[in-house]
Amino acid sequence: MGLRNTFLHLRSFHLLPSKANTPLTSPTSPRSDGREGLPLSSRRERFDNITIRGTTIVVLATLASIVFICSITVALIGRASDNYDQFTSALDEVSRFNPGILLVGEGVDIDIDEPSVTIRWFVVACGGDSVLQGSKGVLDHKACGLPVTGVNIFVDNNANPSFAYDPVLVPFDEDTARRKSLESAIHFETSHVLDVHQARQYPFDTYRLQIEFRAAALVANQTLPLSISRVLTVDQTSSFNVDSTDFRRYMVLNEIRSPTQRVDLHIKRPGSARLFTLLLYAISWLLTHICIGQVVIAKRGDGSRLLLCCLAICAGTLLALPQLRNSMPDAPGLDGILIGYFPQMAIVGLCIIALLLMLAIRELDDIRDTQYVEPYTPNRRFCFPEGVTLSSPPPPRPRRPPPMYSQTDLSQWEMQRMAKHLRGDYVFPPISARASVKPDNNITWKPVHRRSKTMRAVSMLEEGEISRWSDHED
């Protein structure tokens, strides 16, 4: 009862007199809404019992990974049948309004390091009587097939044809009554030099290319000018987007006005490639800035262990930067990149050199502090009464604390000093020596005034004979 009164008395310091005697509510008291609440311990045990085993977590994570992989795989199904869908509208237009020969660039290989562009062309005829019998259905279009007449294709006004098509060389299958498509008979490749003066603007570099085609029909061993209806190319590659625009032109050759078809290609990076490139670019610079921060942390910190951790982080960054640069989608060579790879490697290398120098300096300082001890040479000996000897010489002068110390070092030093003080290490002469002295009645002690003793101790302290520090203190 007395304990409760004491507790109520303590509560009265911050409560009104009317509220000081109100009883405390129990954790199991009913709620205001009439429902009885559970004790806090019961609630805590109820939540602690809801646990998931490690096997269940691994199984759930595996199922989530499988679902993710299957969803990506399903997104790729059906892409093979959609390769020629981008040409459907152009083929319909040609077959209805402008039947004739078409050149379809179904494969575009862009190499910035060469630099060159290689295009794989497909010779097609659409609409009217220009389609060879039994060859319709090319490019998944019912009105397009192989040309019915022989065609010579000239690229960029060359005197010699780059490709010669002869319908006689296309085999005929009697079982299916259809022509067999031979790759060498209907396909040809052209290579073009690419101007890459904008390669330094990666990933925002763009390129332009102009190609001009001229066709000639082989009729009765004679070459007659033949107009090309359209020149088409794919609009997407693995690393670039290709925008093509073709238009009709004319040229005079041997006093004969021949039609030509020119196509302009505008090549640029897709948005996804630019996004990934900028993300890797930002990660590289963030790692570089982290290395600079590691140097600052190592400079302000103490100990070789922290410095070694910072050095390991910088070394890992130095090895990771080239891998990040090589993982950028279809990146050009390293020549001329002055805001990315080269500055990052230089900064990280300088950080590693700075850390190595700091490590060497700290190791040398530690070796010097552990090996070098200043000798203690008193100016004069202490005078003791006759027959009194010390069991041990005076302690050596303690070493000075290192110039770089932290609050933890000071607290440990103070703790050691206090422990020595409690053990009596600061008593001079030492306790063991004083205890070993036997009383001798023959010794005559000279009375010395207290003031003279005090002044002598002060003078000895000023001259450096008595150290204020304990022995072997760091």
Asked whether residue 257 falls in the same domain as residue 345, the answer is no
Residues 125 and 263 in one domain: yes
Q: Which of 328, 344, 367 is the last residue before a domain boundary?
A: 367
Over residues 351-361, the mean pLDDT reads 94
Average pLDDT of the chain is 76
Specify whether 205 is located in the same domain as 303: no
Q: Is residue 259 part of a domain?
A: yes
Last residue of a domain, one of 269, 296, 329: 269
What tokens does 209 get? Answer: 């290319």
For residue 401, the SS3 value is coil
CA distance 211 to 108: 13
User: Could you read off the pLDDT of 107-162 as tens digits, one per residue?
Assistant: 899 988 888 999 999 999 998 888 888 888 888 888 888 888 889 999 988 888 89
Together in a domain, 138 and 258 = yes
Claim to verify: residue 173 and residue 88 sit in the same structural domain? yes
Asked if the structure places residue 439 within a domain, the reply is no
Give the C-alpha distances (Å, rounded to integers) separating 232 from 184, 227, 352.
20, 15, 54
Domain co-membership, 348 together with 265? no
Q: Verify that 143 and 219 share a domain, yes or no.
A: yes
Encode pLDDT of 369-400 as tens digits. Answer: 776 555 555 554 445 455 545 555 555 555 55
Residue 125: strand, helix, or coil: strand
pLDDT, residue 466, reads 47
Is residue 235 domain-resident? yes
Counted domains in the chain: 2
Structural domain that includes position 282? 273-367
Q: Is residue 176 part of a domain?
A: yes
| 473, pLDDT greater than 50 | no
Neighbours of 306 (CB within 10 A): 14
Kindly report the pTM of this predicted structure. 0.59
Residue 441 has pLDDT above 80, yes or no: no
Residue 9 domain flag: no
Is residue 188 domain-shared with residue 314, that is, in the same domain?
no
Whether residue 102 is found in the same domain as residue 232? yes
Position 254 in a domain: yes
Residue 165 lies in a domain: yes
Report pLDDT for 14: 47
In angstroms, the CA 241 to CA 386 distance is: 106
Do 114 and 250 have their domain in common? yes
Helices (H) and strands (E) in the chain, counts: 12, 13
pLDDT tens digits, residue range 303-346?
Answer: 788 999 999 999 999 999 999 988 888 877 776 566 788 899 99
Domain stops at, among 335, 367, 399: 367
- Taking the C-alpha atoms of residue 241 and residue 311, their distance in angstroms, rounded to an integer, is 43
